[in-house]
């Protein structure tokens, strides 16, 4: 089994205000970059498949050279056998469509994977377009909002449970042939059903963390010529999306009012308890605790 997982670097919003330039483009250099949180579920799905069926997990991203560290994070925090970054200036300021064209071309340089995994949506764009658009370029069966899956290698079939239109109350079971494209939902939960699978998981996690220490030994960087794409169809030139306006994310207050309470002051602590009871609208006495 060969699995490819797509990931992206997004601003670490915990660091404060995110800046945009006058054209509405995100100024990423002013905010630390981390792996998109939803991509972790795609990585977990690939790792589960790797545990059960063996094979190889390749993780790919499109972005600036700094995305090498995002790929390292993917390898260390979840799993990867090898890493792939498609990167050059021709790809800058791409919308989801130009990104999909670039990623699909990058995937094709790896051969034909059995499964391509993508996260539901990114923390910055919030469109959820890139995965399905990349799949459209690759012309694979597409299963979205996946919360669990398994593979029948003998039949070449993927079976999955998925949320219906993102509704966590309604789940359907679907089946499709391989190769296939899977978009995981944030409700995805990996399952390791036997002691053998759990031991394999432990070994693979140790191996990937060791690889991550020298991740560049497992990293391949390709530019637009390497993946054979025309610059007119990627980056800003290949992006039909026009950003008309942007609502900046407000920065949290640097200072907040606080009242210091001495834990040995029983009267003051009683006031804190009463305030907490009022906030939750219930009686905290029943909760117990020390």
Q: What is the pLDDT of residue 251?
A: 53
Beta-bridge partner residues of 183: 118
pLDDT interval class at 285 (50, 70, 90): very low
Q: What is the pLDDT of residue 56?
A: 98
Kindly report, residue by residue over 91-124, the tens digit of the pLDDT. Answer: 998 999 999 999 999 999 999 999 999 999 887 7
Beta-bridge partner residues of 57: 3
User: Strand 157-164 to strand 167-177: parallel, antiparallel, or no bridges (unpaired)?
Assistant: antiparallel
Q: What is the pLDDT of residue 246?
A: 62
Residue 238: inside a domain, yes or no? no
Distance CA 84, CA 209 (A): 17
Tell me, letter by letter, the H, E, C secondary structure of 39-73: HHHHHHHHHHHHHHHCCEEEEEEECCCCHHHHHHH
Count of domains in the chain? 1
Beta-bridge partner residues of 180: 115
Distance CA 248, CA 242 (A): 17
Check if the beta carbon of residue 189 is closer than 8 Å to that of residue 91. Answer: no
CATH number assigned to the domain comprising residue 51: 3.40.50.620
pTM to 2 decimals? 0.81
* Residue 144 phi, psi (nearest 5): -110, 170
Beta-bridge partner residues of 85: 61, 221
User: Strand 142-152 to strand 219-222: parallel, antiparallel, or no bridges (unpaired)?
Assistant: unpaired
Q: How far is CA 13 from the centre of its chain?
A: 15
Beta-bridge partner residues of 146: 162, 184
Residue 152: inside a domain, yes or no? yes
Taking alpha carbons only, the member of 92, 114, 112 closest to residue 102 is: 92
Q: What is the mean pLDDT of the chain?
A: 88
Q: What is the pLDDT of residue 86?
A: 97
Residue 266: inside a domain, yes or no? no
The residue-averaged pLDDT of 12-29 equals 64
Long-range Cβ contact pairs of 252-255 (< 8 A, separation 24 or more):
252/16
Residue 18: inside a domain, yes or no? yes
The DSSP call for residue 6 is E
What share of the chain in percent tops pLDDT 70? Answer: 83
Kindly tell me if the per-residue pLDDT of 272 is higher than 90: no
Kindly report, residue by residue over 151-165, the tens digit of the pLDDT. Answer: 999 999 999 999 997
Kindly report, residue by residue over 172-229, the tens digit of the pLDDT. Answer: 999 999 999 999 999 999 999 999 999 999 999 999 999 999 999 999 999 999 999 9
Q: What is the pLDDT of residue 213?
A: 97
Give me the domain span that covers residue 74: 2-233
Residue 48: inside a domain, yes or no? yes
What share of the chain in percent tops pLDDT 90? Answer: 64
Among the residue ranges 27-41, 58-72, 208-222, 241-255, the one predicted with the least confidence is 241-255
Kindly tell me if the per-residue pLDDT of 146 is higher than 80: yes
pLDDT interval class at 128 (50, 70, 90): confident
Kindly tell me if the per-residue pLDDT of 283 is higher than 80: no
Kindly tell me if the per-residue pLDDT of 253 is higher than 70: no
Q: What is the pLDDT of residue 167?
A: 65
Structure token digits, residue 46: 């690939």
Residue 14: inside a domain, yes or no? yes
Q: What is the pLDDT of residue 135?
A: 97
Residue 254: inside a domain, yes or no? no
Kindly tell me if the per-residue pLDDT of 131 is higher than 50: yes
Q: What is the pLDDT of residue 287?
A: 44
Residue 271: inside a domain, yes or no? no
Check if the beta carbon of residue 90 is closer than 8 Å to that of residue 233. Answer: no
pLDDT top residue among 164 and 258: 164
H helix count then E strand count, the chain: 6, 11
Residues 6+ apart with CB under 8 A from 122: 8, 10, 36, 38, 130
């Amino acid at each position: 089994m060969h699995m490819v997982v797509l990931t992206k670097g997004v601003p670490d919003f915990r660091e404060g205000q995110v800046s945009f330039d006058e054209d509405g483009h995100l100024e990423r250099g002013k905010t630390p970059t981390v792996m998109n949180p939803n991509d972790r579920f795609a990585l977990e799905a690939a790792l589960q498949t790797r545990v059960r069926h063996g094979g190889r997990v390749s993780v790919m991203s499109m972005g600036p050279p700094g995305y090498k560290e995002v790929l390292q994070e993917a390898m260390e925090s979840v799993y990867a056998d090898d890493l792939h970054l498609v990167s050059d200036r021709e790809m800058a300021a791409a919308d989801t469509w130009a990104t999909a064209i670039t990623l699909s071309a990058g995937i094709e340089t790896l051969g034909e994977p059995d499964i391509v995994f993508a996260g539901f949506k990114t923390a910055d764009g919030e469109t959820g377009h890139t995965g399905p658009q990349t799949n459209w370029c690759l012309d694979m069966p597409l299963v979205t909002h996946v919360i669990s899956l398994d593979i029948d290698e003998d039949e070449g079939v993927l079976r999955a449970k998925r949320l219906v239109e993102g509704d966590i109350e309604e789940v359907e079971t679907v089946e499709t042939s391989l190769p296939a494209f899977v978009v995981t939902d944030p409700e995805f939960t990996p399952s390791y059903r036997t002691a053998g699978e759990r031991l394999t998981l432990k070994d693979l996690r140790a191996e990937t963390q060791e690889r991550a220490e020298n991740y560049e030994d497992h990293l391949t960087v390709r530019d637009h010529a390497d993946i054979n794409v025309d610059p007119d169809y990627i980056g800003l030139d290949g992006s039909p999306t026009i950003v008309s306006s942007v609502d900046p994310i407000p920065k949290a207050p640097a200072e907040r009012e606080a009242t210091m309470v001495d834990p040995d002051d029983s009267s003051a602590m009683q006031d804190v308890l009463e305030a907490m009871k009022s906030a939750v609208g219930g009686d905290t006495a029943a909760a117990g605790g020390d």
